[in-house]
Amino acid sequence: MRIRSLNMLAAFALLLYLIMPYSANAAASEGETAPRPVQAFDVVAGKVVKTVPNTAEFQGYAKSWLKSNTGLSPKLQAEDKCGYVFRIPLDEPTAVKAGSEQVMTQDVFLFYCPKKPQLLLIFDEQRRPYLLKFKANIKPFLKAMDL
């Protein structure tokens, strides 16, 4: 049952990859390589509700969260009936301590549900999911996202 829940969470995050639009061709045609945008997925509405440019500020938030991670979450799934899932693509692969392992990741998913502990979801190079607890203030990020 626990593995099934984690697989469902991973499938949900992978689904986010598919439904969060971004046109790499548009950036390439302009002769620049723009970073993939930060996106907010409203869980209840079931859709992306906001897309913003992926600035150094957002990179800083995501990297500080990863550095403040306190280990793997004992929860095997995030809340699926409320809040938002934010996707912050990293500008370069980043090493993260996930339990007893160190993994490289390129995207950070923040699961935010008011009045519940926030969680991070990352994937390693083999697309294995890691759900992480962390200690960081996400209020500045939420304010920057203006949701």
pLDDT, tens digit, for every residue of 77-113?
Answer: 666 678 999 999 999 999 999 888 999 999 999 999 8
Beta bridge partners of 103: 96
Say yes or no to pLDDT of 7 above 80. no
35 pLDDT above the threshold of 70: yes
More confident residue, 88 or 30: 88
Query: What residues form DSSP beta bridges with 40?
Result: 50, 86
End-to-end CA distance of the chain: 34
Beta strand extents in 16-83 (DSSP E only)? 38-42, 47-52, 69-72
pLDDT at site 74: 83
Residues facing residue 102 across a β-bridge: 97
The pLDDT value recorded for residue 78 is 61
String of b and e for 79-118 (b: at least 16 CB within 10 Å)?
beeebbbbbbbbeeebebbbeeeebebebbbbbbbeeeeb
CB 79 within 8 A of CB 120: no
**pTM score:** 0.79
Q: pLDDT exceeding 90 applies to what percent of the chain?
A: 61
Residue 29 confidence (pLDDT): 41
* Contact of 48 with 39, CB cutoff 8 Å: yes
Q: What is residue 12's predicted lDDT score, i.e. its pLDDT?
A: 52
